[in-house]
Amino acid sequence: MLLSPYGLREWLTITVLAVLLGGIAAWFGLWWLTGIVLILWLAGVAFFRDPVRRIPEDLEPGTMLSPADGVVKSVLTVDHHEVTGGPAMVIRIFLSVLNVHINRSPIDGEVAEITYRPGKFLDARKEESAKVNESNLVVLRMDSGDLVGVRQISGAIARRIVCPLQIGDRLSRGQRYGMIKFGSTTELILPRPHETNIRVKPGQSVRAGVHVLAVLPQD
């Protein structure tokens, strides 16, 4: 099991504590306690797992891969969004604490904007959380000139959004670019909503860098 460098501090801390507590328990012959420590260690480091993904190839232009693992919470059209400067399609994905929390780029593109906003830490299952919680918006410019947004949104447990990107960075479709630590939400924001071909529906499980969420027609 690969572990994400985005969570290096956390899973190293968990490992050190587990070794100390497990070693003490074993020293006193408390093997049952050692077993419990091992189970807790596995549960802790599993959150920072970073499985290898085989990114689909030969996709049609404008194909949007999922930026996160989780369940599609909603698919909605809004009259105005800061990413597009007009109407937009928003696909919202809920991540439970059991999901892989690595974010991946949905497309090939250049980082045009990064906007971090402090906020609340409401339960990510609540609709209001997407509006008021801490968030980080990354806007990618496709080769066609279209702007696509990916927004990382914290939850009640998630208290740290990781995004080491800088404006001008170039991302490939399916490339890792950050994570949200513990339960959270990720949004994919697309331009030209009336032309976009949506390939998912609410309640559907998706995996980052694997499942197609939508296709944005390209000239």
- Return the active site residues: 184
Tell me the C-alpha distance between 133 and 121, whole Å.
5
Cα 210 to chain centroid distance, Å, stands at: 13
How far is 154 from 203, CA to CA, in rounded Å? 20
Which residue, among 76, 59, 101, has the nearest Cα to 211 in the 3D structure?
59
Angle, helix 31-46 to helix 8-27, in steps of 10 degrees: 170
Are residues 189 and 90 in contact, defined by beta-carbon separation less than 8 angstroms? yes
| Helices vs strands, H then E, count in the chain | 3, 14
Torsion angles phi and psi, residue 208, rounded to 5 = -60, 135
Residue 38's H or E segment, with its range, is helix 31-46
